[in-house]
Structure 1
Amino acid sequence: MYRNLIKRIIDVIISFLGIIVLSPVLIVLSIVIKATSPGPVLFKQERVGKNNKSFKIYKFRSMRTDTPKDVPTHMLENPEQYITKVGKFMRKTSLDELPQLFNIFKGEMSVIGPRPSLPNQYDLNELRDKNGSSSIKPGLTGLAQISGRDELEIEVKANLDGEYANRMSFLLDCKCFIGTITSVLKSDGVVEGGTGELHKEETL
């Protein structure tokens, strides 16, 4: 009942209210992005959705237009060189993710779920196929995001995504939602190009 109906109702309500309440922030950020960096306000990119069906994810553009396309940030050489000054602030505060409220309202994403991967992230997508997390909608945030974000290795992220898919419930979604607010306020786990940084620190 929760997985197939109630969760979607909650997604629609939260995304609709979020778009309305945060509209001043969305407008201001759009103006600042356009005024400080050449290129479009929104960054649109193909991502893997529920049952591996692709969709276009929306983000505020935080990187220069000459950034290599469809390459995960952690695979870029010196990703900092491509991030704009405004983009650095948005990524640290996760404000660049706000346009995904429209993806959620459209039904392509959920508030809580595995973060949507790129089609060429073969290792992550294969692991998600094996643990069942590819069968649910990707989310704005999820269990992996409150457990380390960029600091986690791919295998650990995938395992957390699988755990969420198997344990999905209203209480777990509340835990992820509240945990995300805390993580964003503290900027926990944000490491540009830093997938696996937690493991690297442990092995030093």
Structure 2
Amino acid sequence: MLIRTLDFLMAFFGLIITFPILLMVTIIGYFDTGLPIFIQQRVGKNKNPFNLIKFRTMSVDTKSVASHLASTASITKLGGFLRKTKIDELPQLINVLKGEMSFVGPRPNLFNQEELITERDSRGIYNVLPGITGLAQVNTIDMSTPKLLAETDQKMIETLTLKSYFKYIIQTATGSGSGDRIS
């Protein structure tokens, strides 16, 4: 309950504080791709679907696959900047506010990532809310290594404390990890 309260308050005030950035990126994004907001169905808690909200970083015609399977050629100039600065993740504060995500938890995967779903399912990963960041992200472990990712997610869930919750958020904000790899 404490984590959910922290998630809600930080997302609420985060959206207020970052509103000028959200507005500016949305406007610039219209000139970059024509569709600055990217919404994609992901696997949530208890394997329930939810719509993840991000800023679009790839061209509109890019196939809906995991980031590590996408081509670098599909990333726009603005998208490269948004990914590097992690600004593309800011709209996920809406998902956190709605209770679909937490700040800290396993990154939500696509429904077509069957190997990862099997690995995560066997470790109870879907019993918790997915997150914007976590242990795997700050250690540059992404969805290209399903077994290692699921093991790392499990370790994070089993050892998560209030201290590590804030540690992962701070590490992400200060640039630890590099996000999902692009082929």
On whether the aligned pair clears a TM of 0.5, the verdict is yes
For residues 87-119 of structure 1, what are the alpha-carbon distances to aligned partners after superposition, in whole Å with 9 as ceiling and x for unaligned? Answer: 111011111111000000000000100000000
Give the structure 2 partner of residue 68 of structure 1.
Answer: 63
Bigger-Rg structure (1/2): 1
5 Å matches for 1:92-107? 92-107=84-99
What are the within-5 Å matches in structure 2 for residues 15-34 of structure 1?
A: 15-34=11-30
- The number of residue pairs the alignment matches comes to 183
Q: What's the counterpart of residue 181 of structure 1?
A: 173
| Preserved CA contact (<8 Å) 1:80 1:192 | no
* CA spacing shift, 1:191–1:162, aligned 2, 3 Å: closer
- The code of the aligned residue for 2:100 comes to E
Distance 1:134 1:180 in 2: 22
Counterpart position of 1:202: none
Superposed, 1:8-87 pairs within 5 Å as 8-38=4-34, 40-69=35-64, 71-76=65-70, 79-87=71-79
Cα distance, 1:62 vs structure 2: 1.0
| Equivalent AA in structure 2 for residue 115 of structure 1 | R
**Larger CA deviation: 147-156 vs 133-142:** 147-156
Residue 2 of structure 2, aligned match among 6, 11, 14:
6
Give the partner amino acid of 1:119. Answer: F
> Post-superposition shift, 1:160?
0.9
Deviation at 1:190, TM superposition (A): 4.2
Amino acid of the structure 2 residue aligned with 1:19: L
Identity over aligned pairs, percent: 38
Aligned partners of 1:140, 1:124: CA distance in 2, in Å?
17
1:142 pairs with one of 127, 134, 145: 134
Q: Which residue of 2 aligns with 1:193?
A: 182
1:165 aligns with 2:157: yes
Unmatched runs of 5 consecutive residues or more in structure 2: none
- Return closer, same or farther for 1:156/1:147 CA change in 2, 3 Å cut-off: same
1:3-49 deviation per Cα after TM superposition (whole angstroms, max 9, x unaligned): xx1110000000001000000000010011002223x2210000000
CA RMSD of aligned residues (A): 1.6
Work out whether residues 54 and 89 of structure 2, in 8 Å CA contact, stay in contact via their aligned partners in 1: yes
Contact 1:151 1:189 in 2 (8 A): no
Relative to the length of structure 1, the TM-score reads 0.84
Are residues 47 and 191 of structure 1, via their aligned partners in 2, closer, same or farther at CA, if it must alter by over 3 Å? closer
> What is the CA–CA distance in structure 2 between the aligned matches of 1:74 and 1:128, rounded to whole Å?
18
Amino acid at match of 1:75: L
Comparing 149-158 and 26-35, the one that deviates more: 149-158
Query: What is the rounded CA distance, in whole Å, between the counterparts of 1:61 and 1:117 in structure 2?
Result: 17
Q: Do the aligned partners of 1:59 and 1:97 also contact (CA within 8 Å) in 2?
A: yes
Q: Which residue type is aligned with residue 159 of structure 1?
A: E
